[in-house]
Amino acid sequence: MEYRQLGHSGLRVPVLSLGTGTFGGTNAFFKTWGETDVKEASRLIDISLDNGLNFFDTANVYSGGDAERILGAALEGRRDKAIIATKSTFTTGPDVNDSGSSRFHILREVESSLKKLKTDYLDLYIMHGFDSRTPLHETLSTLDQLVKSGKVRYIGASNFTGWQLMKSLSVSEKLGLEKYVIHQAYYSLIGRDFEWDLMPVGQDQQIGTMVWSPLGWGRLTGKIRRGQPLPEGRIKSGGAAGGPEIDNELLYNVVDVLTEISKETNKTVSQIALNWLLQRPTVSNIVIGARNEDQLRENLGAVDWKLSVEQIERLEKVSAQTPRYPYWVGAR
């Protein structure tokens, strides 16, 4: 397993982390992702650790908190072997303060996550989204306090725009507070908007990227093909709900080239899509999901080899999209 720095920090992490969106499945939305229980989660973690993957990504809202509980139970007795990332910001209940990045909400959710995960510290704590209602200095000073207390080791952001991330870094620098070291973002061969804004910020500010949904909501597994009906599984059962709309022709063209390269490399379509991401600037880590052992082992096969320069060029050509304004200005 290859390890990389977590952005501009001293922490080294495996290039793959195991996402826990499939853990629990205790509400309608997350049920389409998976229904992994503690026993199954323990087995996935066994396989991960045996392959050098010791980084586990979760969030307080996954399956209403059950994903954190399952991860905590599955890691019991081996917390020292794991790097844990969790998140807060999104809504956790009906009350007016049950969402956001206020001091009130962050401190309450950190304590809740620590309890569910059965640990006294979090390796990485991520703001799941940007909260425009809370002053940045309130959010960042609270996170700084958590780092100084030892309850959190590093902090990150997720789903920010470029200006939101840049402004957050500027406020931290101005006030002498802990800075975000990582930004968790959607990025895939069929979703390259990340390159227009967030990638340049990451390169300029040395912010690493943790990629989520690297297979484009499961569309880049090779199961969706031109002229064929959707196979049984997550996508057909509604698992792509909430994801961006994808032009079918773009998807089919990308899958065609992935399939060609699959034959050349004897790697699967998924492995090639993941390996392409590992060659991209700023990427520190890719969050992979797995509903079962077979999916996990397949995803683990995306590391320890590299696509050729020519293969990368083919993938980038077929997946290229015209940037929106103002990014196309001066880019031609």
Residue from 3, 62, 125, 154 carrying the catalytic annotation: 62
The answer to whether the peptide bond before residue 281 is cis (omega within 30 degrees of 0) is no
62 counts as catalytic:
yes
Angle at 246 between CA 204 and CA 88, to 5 degrees: 55
Judged by DSSP in three states, 55 sits in: strand
How many whole angstroms separate alpha carbon 240 and alpha carbon 188? 14
Residue 139 CB-density burial (10 A; 0-12 exposed, 13-18 middle, 19+ buried): buried
Neighbours of 211 (CB within 10 A): 23
Q: What is the DSSP string of 117-167?
A: HT-S-EEEEEESS--TTS-HHHHHHHHHHHHHHTSEEEEEEES--HHHHHH
- Catalytic positions are 62
